[in-house]
């Protein structure tokens, strides 16, 4: 049995466990919402809307928090921040000062990464403007999901950073650093 097979098995196992955790969380949120709604009447209005609130939280937790942040964005941020070393090509004063932007791939990245990062940033800004124009109920439902997703993302960045420091290994993702120029091959 090769190392890759073992890794695949571990990954599959982790995925299954994560799915179970996510399902459990979803049921917990729904149960909590139901209890709160029926017992304490925090929301005296329609249960459907309150469930929409819970669904929004669950959806953003999975789509934004887990799929977007935990699997893609957070490892990239940690990897890029770890690549910020003086003496390397990317260890410039500007990159140090704007380290958060550098880590997010907004500066000093491959063309593709920069296009993606700037598009996502501008897209989110556009969505924020649109959400502000929604009615208060829809807005609070969406914002609740956004809070859950962003909290998940922040925690995942911290967790991956701690993991990288403890294990001494950076996340196994491409840092999307720009090419250093033509290298002649003999």
Partner 1 sequence: MSRRLIESQTTTLTLLALFLLVTITFTSAEGFSIRTFPRQQQRNTQNLYLFNRRRLQTLTIMSPSSPSRLDTSSSSSNNLHPMSVLRGGATSAAATSSSDLAESKCPVSKTMAIFGTFWGSLGVVYILAKAIKRVLPIALEPFTGSLILSPLQWV
Out of 58, 90, 113, 117, which residue is the one contacting partner 1 (CB under 8 A)?
A: 90
Establish if 177 lies at the interface with partner 1 (CB under 8 A).
yes
CA geometry: angle at 59 spanning 71 and 156, to 5°? 30
Residue 161 to residues 53, 60, 75, 173, 177, Cα–Cα distance (Å): 31, 22, 8, 14, 19
Q: Which residue has the tokens 């941020």?
A: 77
Question: Which is closer to partner 1, CB of 62 or CB of 79?
Answer: 79
Please identify, among the stretches 4-12, 14-22, 82-90, 112-120, the one whose residues bind partner 1 according to the rule CB under 8 A: 82-90
Q: Give the Cα separation of 168 and 162 in Å (integer).
A: 10
How far is the first Cα of the chain from the last one, in angstroms, to the nearest whole number? 39
Establish if 78 lies at the interface with partner 1 (CB under 8 A).
yes
Q: Give the Cα separation of 56 and 126 in Å (integer).
A: 19
Out of 28, 97, 115, 127, which residue is the one contacting partner 1 (CB under 8 A)?
A: 97
* Structural contact between residues 65 and 86, judged by C-beta atoms closer than 8 angstroms: no
Establish if 39 lies at the interface with partner 1 (CB under 8 A).
no
Establish if 157 lies at the interface with partner 1 (CB under 8 A).
yes
Establish if 144 lies at the interface with partner 1 (CB under 8 A).
yes
- How far apart are CB 115 and partner 1 at their closest, in Å? 19
Establish if 102 lies at the interface with partner 1 (CB under 8 A).
yes
Q: What share of the chain is helix, strand, coil (3-state, %, to 5)?
A: 75, 0, 25
Sites of contact with partner 1 (CB under 8 A): 42-46, 48-50, 53, 77-78, 80-93, 96-97, 99-100, 102-104, 135-137, 139-140, 143-144, 146-147, 150-151, 153-154, 157-158, 161, 170, 175, 177, 179-186
């Amino acid at each position: 049995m090769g190392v890759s097979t073992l890794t695949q098995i571990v990954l599959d196992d982790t995925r299954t466990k994560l799915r179970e955790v996510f399902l459990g969380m979803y049921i917990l949120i729904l149960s909590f919402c139901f209890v709160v709604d029926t017992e304490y009447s925090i929301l005296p209005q329609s249960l459907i809307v309150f469930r929409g609130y819970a669904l929004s939280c669950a959806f953003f937790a999975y789509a934004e928090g887990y799929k977007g942040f935990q699997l893609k964005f957070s490892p990239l941020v940690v990897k890029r921040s770890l690549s910020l070393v003086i003496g390397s090509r990317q260890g410039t004063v500007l990159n140090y000062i704007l380290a958060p932007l550098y880590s997010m791939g907004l500066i000093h990245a491959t063309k593709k990464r920069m296009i993606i990062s700037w598009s996502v940033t501008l897209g989110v800004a556009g969505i924020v403007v649109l959400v502000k124009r929604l009615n208060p109920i829809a807005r609070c439902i969406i914002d609740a999901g956004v809070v859950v997703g962003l909290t998940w993302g922040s925690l995942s960045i911290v967790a991956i950073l701690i993991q990288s420091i403890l294990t001494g290994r950076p996340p196994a993702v491409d840092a999307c650093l720009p090419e250093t120029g033509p290298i002649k091959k003999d």
